[in-house]
């Protein structure tokens, strides 16, 4: 099981793109693996005959054997040599996997060779295969529009829209009960996806292990919103205009560069400080939450940050985000302002030192130049790990972000 992200501890085999006994070339896509960040195809780093030792639906720790390529007399035919420890990890993990029990249990007898071979001969991209599996679409019935007739995402989506609805094989398992004594009516229990399970575990660990505190500050965004309106009015057709969140990302990055203590972590009883300022931006996906990373945000222009965050958000929503794009973050920004939320406390993305929660920009009465007038105000809430950031440290960071946002021309460089 390859390590596909810096936080990956285990992975789930979603789909083998090659069959047992196939000849595999170096660089050829071999298997789709679901990590805590995303699902991606893993390319073979060598050539030879494939011997699969872990079946689809299996969840294994990083480093466990999932297949052998080439000659390996010591390799057993059905399981890795370290069968006992792998089984100990695999059993509880399989129970939390998003696949139906049939996939998490011991492999069922293989399908007829003709059907399996027919399916594997179809040329299709990994995401096209994943979507087809989710909607129960037979790829044999789809015409490919990609290079060499390869089936791509658009082909599957087009065919899926016209095909009758079929329950996907990998849909989360649900159970229903009619216990009316509770007064809740019919109760439906749905198994979480592996990503949802990992999010739940890590958020629970963060709340249980991080001695956090929060600081809140009001930011006058009147100048910033005026500047953004002017940029939008003068922008060429199709040109991206930086959002308020892009401004927050840039302001946070500049403030972090000035205060390195906040651009770090508490890990294994030691302080870690990072030379690069990489800001993660929380993006809501379908039934999940993903945090892609804007690397070296302090060195990028506002326009570059705007273009990058827009592209990353689209990849999250389309399911094409990759683990490298969600790794390496040193600080996180979470924004719920678009939903009208004035303020909230975000859970720290451990082991990072802090996370910034961004509320809505709204017109409210405020004292300005000695007079009460309507101003565009925004609430920022900084949650800090008290082991690495003390009250004064967090307050200085938050005050600096506020100062930069209230003088938005300082973000242009």
The long-range contacts involving 363-368, CB below 8 angstroms and separated by at least 24 positions, are 366/220, 368/220
Chain centroid offset of residue 208 CA: 22
Whether 386 is catalytic = yes
Q: What does the alpha-carbon distance between residue 275 and residue 288 come to, in Å, rounded to a whole number?
A: 30
3-state secondary structure 79-127: CCCCHHHHHHHHHHHHHHCCCCHHHHCCCCCCCCHHHHHHHHCCCECHH
What backbone torsions phi and psi does residue 33 show, to the nearest 5 degrees?
-125, 130
Query: For residue 134, what is the enclosing H or E element?
Result: helix 126-135
C-alpha distances (whole Å) from 237 to each of 231, 241, 394 are 12, 11, 41
Peptide bond into 351 cis (omega under 30): yes
Closest Cα partner for 330 from 344, 310, 349? 349
Beta carbons within 8 Å of 243's beta carbon, 6+ residues apart: 228, 306, 309
* Percent of residues in the chain assigned helix, strand, coil, to nearest 5: 35, 25, 40
Alpha helix ranges (H) inside 210-322: 222-234, 244-258, 302-318
Pairing of β 10-16 and β 29-34: antiparallel
C-alpha distances (whole Å) from 240 to each of 256, 272, 311 are 26, 36, 11
Alpha helix ranges (H) inside 10-104: 83-96, 101-104
Count the Cβ atoms, other than its own, within 10 Å of residue 331: 27
C-alpha distances (whole Å) from 217 to each of 116, 299, 301 are 60, 26, 25
Among 15, 150, 386, 396, the active-site one is: 386
Q: What does the alpha-carbon distance between residue 35 and residue 221 come to, in Å, rounded to a whole number?
A: 39
- What are the residue numbers of the active site? 386
């Amino acid at each position: 099981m390859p390590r596909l992200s810096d936080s990956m501890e285990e992975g789930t085999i979603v789909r083998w793109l090659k069959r047992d006994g196939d000849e595999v070339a170096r660089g050829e896509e071999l298997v789709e693996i679901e990590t805590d960040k995303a699902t991606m195809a893993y390319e073979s780093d060598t050539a030879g005959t494939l011997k699969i030792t872990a079946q689809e639906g299996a969840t294994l720790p990083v480093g466990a054997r999932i297949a052998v390529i080439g000659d390996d007399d010591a390799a057993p035919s059905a399981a890795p040599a370290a069968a006992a420890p792998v089984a100990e990890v695999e059993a509880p993990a399989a129970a939390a996997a998003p696949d139906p029990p049939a996939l998490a249990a011991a492999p069922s007898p293989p399908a007829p060779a003709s059907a399996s071979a027919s399916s594997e001969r179809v040329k299709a991209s990994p995401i096209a295969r994943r979507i087809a599996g989710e909607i129960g679409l037979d790829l044999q019935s789809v015409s490919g529009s990609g290079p060499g007739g390869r089936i791509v995402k658009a082909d599957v989506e087009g065919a899926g829209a016209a095909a009758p609805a079929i329950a996907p094989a990998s849909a989360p398992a649900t159970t229903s009960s009619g216990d009316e004594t509770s007064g809740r009516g019919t109760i439906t229990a749905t198994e979480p996806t592996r990503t949802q399970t990992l999010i739940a575990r890590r958020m629970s660990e963060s709340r249980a292990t991080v001695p956090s505190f929060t600081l809140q500050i009001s930011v006058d965004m009147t100048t910033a919103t005026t500047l953004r309106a002017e940029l939008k009015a003068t922008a060429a057709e199709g040109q991206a205009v930086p959002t308020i969140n892009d401004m927050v990302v840039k302001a946070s990055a500049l403030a972090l560069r000035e205060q390195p203590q906040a651009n770090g972590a508490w890990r294994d009883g030691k302080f870690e400080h990072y030379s690069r300022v990489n800001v993660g931006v929380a993006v809501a996906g379908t039934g999940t939450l993903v945090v892609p990373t804007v690397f070296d945000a302090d060195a990028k222009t506002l326009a570059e940050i705007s273009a990058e965050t827009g592209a990353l958000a689209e990849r999250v929503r389309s399911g094409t985000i990759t683990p490298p794009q969600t790794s390496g973050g040193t600080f996180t920004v979470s924004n719920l302002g678009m939903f009208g939320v004035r303020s909230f406390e975000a859970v720290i993305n451990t082991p990072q030192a802090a996370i910034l929660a961004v509320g809505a920009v709204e017109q409210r009465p405020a004292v300005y130049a000695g007079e009460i007038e309507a101003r565009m105000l925004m609430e920022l809430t900084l949650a800090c790990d008290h082991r690495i950031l003390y009250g004064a440290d967090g307050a200085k960071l938050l005050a600096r972000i506020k100062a930069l946002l209230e003088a938005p021309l300082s973000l242009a460089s």
